[in-house]
A and B are shown apart, each in its own frame.
Chain A
Amino acid sequence: MAKAQVNPTRMELTRLKNKLKTARRGHKLLKDKRDELMRQFLILVRENKELREKVEKGIEDCNRNFVMARAGMSAEALNVALMSPKQEVYLEASTKNVMSVEIPEFTYKTRTSDTNDIYSYGFAFTSADLDSAVKSIADLLPDMLLLAEREKSCQLMAAEIEKTRRRVNALEHVMIPETEESIKYIKMKLDENERSSQIRLMKVKDMMLEAAHKYDERPDGQNAHRIEIITGAEEE
């Protein structure tokens, strides 16, 4: 039964039919969008996973290097060495539109482009371990930025997929069945109205004939004519 109260009128029927058509079309489009988003997401998330494993391993190595560096130098010397970094990273963020999801794209510039010129200290009072530690972390940086880009994209796409899936389900399981139900209800109601008005007309016609010809007052043989009229009308 139609849950929502609908007026059983032709106008409402036309409106609902249009609504159903739009809902069906929207459903199809959203479903396509969801499928494509999902495909892209799976590609992206696999990449994300690989990158993350790589970066986590890299950071672990860097940390090990830094521990070694710290062991070889006094904390003060280390602090002084890293106090004013030479290298600086400028990040430019643009967005790319993938199936209406804005995913970020990072491009970065470093202040000194020479990868051998990143050490912010003199070599005299620092250990070689610090050099390799700084080098390892500088080498890891591009991957880390790529990871940031991919991971953020994954998060945003996951949110969008969730939203789209909900819409698809709402259309498929709520909106479309309910509209269909309402259309059915209106059709039945209209048919019913039509039948009842037809019967009313027949009845009126009967009464008018009765008034004009006074069948009841005639002998029996002539009543047959009246029955014929009624059965004939019903067959129409």
Chain B
Amino acid sequence: MYKIAVMGDRDSIYGFAAVGLTPFPITDTEEAAAKLKSLVDADYAVIYITEELAGRIQKEIEHFSDRELPAIILIPGVYGNTGKGIEAVKRSVERAVGSDIIFGDD
């Protein structure tokens, strides 16, 4: 039985606690990297993380991207959409196809 975690600044994530996700309010970069590591090894199948925070711990996230679990998914925070989430999808297209053929026409 897995749980779902949400990481990010407090304002962006406390709403998710109401529907049963486990919130981890974090703004410090190093703390976030350490927390992510510990969450990956714990029983979390999905880790939602705000784009703003994810931008700062990109390397750690990529480190876990080839693992089957957990899925680390970027979500926009309360301060708006930075486009990082859609960029991650774009990157996986580029990785697979060699060039971006899905988002090119937008």
Please give the distance in Å from B43's CB to the nearest CB on chain A. 9
A: interface residue count bin: 35 or more
**Bound complex: CA A48 to CA B89 (Å):** 8
Q: What is the CB-to-nearest-CB distance from B2 to chain A, in angstroms, rounded to a whole number? A: 4
Give the residue of A137, A154, A161, A162 whose beta carbon is less than 8 angstroms from that of B89: A154
Main secondary structure on chain A at its contact with chain B? helix
Q: How large is the interface on B (under 10, 10 to 19, 20 to 34, 35 or more residues)?
A: 35 or more
Complex contact B71–A151 (CB within 8 A): yes
- The answer for the CA separation of A162 and B94 in the assembled complex, in Å, is 10
Cβ of A202 < 8 Å from any Cβ of B? Answer: no
Collect the chain B residues with CB atoms within 8 Å of residue A120's CB.
18
Are A87 and B89 in contact, with the CB atoms below 8 A?
no
Proximity string of chain A (87-107) to chain B, C-beta cutoff 8 Å, 1 when within and 0 when not: 111111101000000101010
- Report chain A residues within 8 Å CB of B92: 45, 154-155, 158
Instruction: Say whether A227 faces chain B, with CB atoms less than 8 Å apart.
Output: no
Kindly list chain B residues whose C-beta atoms are within 8 Å of the C-beta of A66. 14-15, 78
Chain B 51-90: CB-based contact to A (< 8 A → 1; otherwise 0): 0000000000000011011010101111011000110110
Give the CA-CA distance A155 to B68 in the complex, in Å: 9
Asked whether A134 lies within 8 Å of B46 as measured between CB atoms, the reply is: no
Chain B, residue nearest A154 (CB): B92
Binding site for A on B (CB under 8 A): 1-4, 12, 14-21, 45-46, 48, 65-66, 68-69, 71, 73, 75-78, 80-81, 85-86, 88-89, 92-93, 95-97, 102-103
